[in-house]
């Protein structure tokens, strides 16, 4: 694993000088990294730049200013892209922009870089990449589509807790929550990013939680989007999910990689429908 060191000390004057150099795009990038913990260089390109080289150049500057820190996880084959987390100065800037004081955990550079050694890194990066791909699709649509909402796993769980009528049932813990606005309509969804590590029994337990949650929800039930690493995993998982009693009460659609790297496309296979794969924007029209 490769990491880069940057300055960590920040005082009020230094913070003001840093803020003067920041663009609105810089602030948006820092805010996204703060919310979603880690973004890769390709993901940052998707949400904020028109070319990868410009993204890497700007992120190098932000790294040098101590606003972000970066690392490359080790891989058995090839090299990983740069992964960016907030550095101490970046945590202070984001907090100041929000009118608050940065908490101790967010300004600890070592704690942010510890994510490089986390066994959940690939899962988090994969889920974040799903949403950044939708941001990129919206940017390329010339105004006909956009990712209208993107919540991280913690906030998605909070959304579920807030919208249930029954505080006694265990609410789902999705990997994210979003709203895709396209062609005058919207689809609201929970994301389940599957890495292939969970057993079919664990998948059924997860599905059961959505089934139990659906009748307690205030308002329509969001779609539950499962993304699987391979078509084989998707096929077997669909069979397991369909065996959950009451599965018809939770609208579920599945997709697999690499096709799901373009989630706006016709990659979604509704669990309880005779239809083939449909566009993400077409899911609300599917009868489940």
Q: pLDDT tens digit string along 219-276?
A: 999 999 999 999 999 999 999 999 999 998 899 999 999 999 999 999 999 998 877 8
Burial class (CB in 10 A: 0-12, 13-18, 19+), 139: middle
pLDDT at 10: 57
Provide the pLDDT for residue 8: 47
State pLDDT tens for residues 58-73. Answer: 999 999 999 999 999 9
3-state DSSP assignment of residue 12: helix
Q: Alpha carbon of 130 to those of 59, 74, 164, 226: distances in Å?
A: 21, 22, 26, 11
Q: Determine the pLDDT at residue 161.
A: 95
Q: How far, in Å, CA of 163 to CA of 158, rounded?
A: 9
CATH 2.60.40.10 assigned to 2-117: no
Ranges of the chain whose pLDDT falls below 70:
1-16, 101-109, 287-288
Token output for 129? 């990449």
Burial of 130: CB neighbours in 10 Å, binned 0-12, 13-18, 19+ = buried
- pLDDT on residue 6: 45
How far apart CA 129 and CA 119 sit, in angstroms, is: 17
Helix H or strand E segment including 124: helix 121-140
CATH 1.10.10.10 in the chain, residue ranges: 2-117
pTM flag (> 0.85): yes
């Amino acid at each position: 694993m490769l990491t880069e060191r940057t300055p960590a000390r920040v005082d009020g004057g230094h913070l003001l000088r840093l803020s003067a150099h920041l663009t609105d795009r810089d602030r948006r990038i820092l805010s996204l990294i703060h919310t979603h913990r880690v973004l890769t260089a390709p993901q940052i390109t998707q949400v904020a730049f028109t070319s990868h080289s410009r993204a890497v150049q700007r992120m190098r500057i932000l790294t040098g200013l101590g606003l972000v820190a970066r690392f490359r996880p080790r891989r058995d084959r090839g090299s990983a892209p740069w992964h960016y987390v907030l550095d101490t100065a970046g945590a202070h800037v984001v907090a100041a922009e929000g009118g608050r004081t940065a908490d101790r955990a967010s300004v600890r550079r070592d704690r942010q870089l510890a994510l490089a050694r986390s066994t959940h890194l690939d899962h988090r990066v994969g889920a974040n990449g799903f949403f950044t791909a939708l941001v990129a699709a919206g940017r390329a649509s010339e105004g006909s589509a956009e990712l209208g909402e993107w919540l991280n796993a913690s906030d998605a769980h909070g959304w579920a807790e807030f919208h249930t009528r029954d505080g006694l049932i265990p609410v789902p813990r999705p990997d994210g929550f979003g709203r895709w606005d396209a062609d005058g309509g919207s689809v609201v969804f929970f994301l389940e990013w599957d890495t292939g590590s969970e057993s079919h029994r664990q998948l059924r337990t997860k599905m059961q939680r959505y089934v139990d949650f659906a009748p307690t929800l205030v308002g329509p039930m969001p779609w539950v989007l499962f993304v699987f690493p391979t078509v084989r995993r998707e096929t077997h998982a669909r069979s397991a999910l369909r065996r959950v009693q009451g599965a018809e009460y939770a609208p579920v659609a599945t997709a697999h990689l690499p096709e799901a790297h373009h989630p706006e496309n016709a990659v979604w296979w509704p669990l309880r429908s005779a239809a083939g794969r449909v566009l993400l924007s077409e899911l609300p029209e599917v009868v489940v």
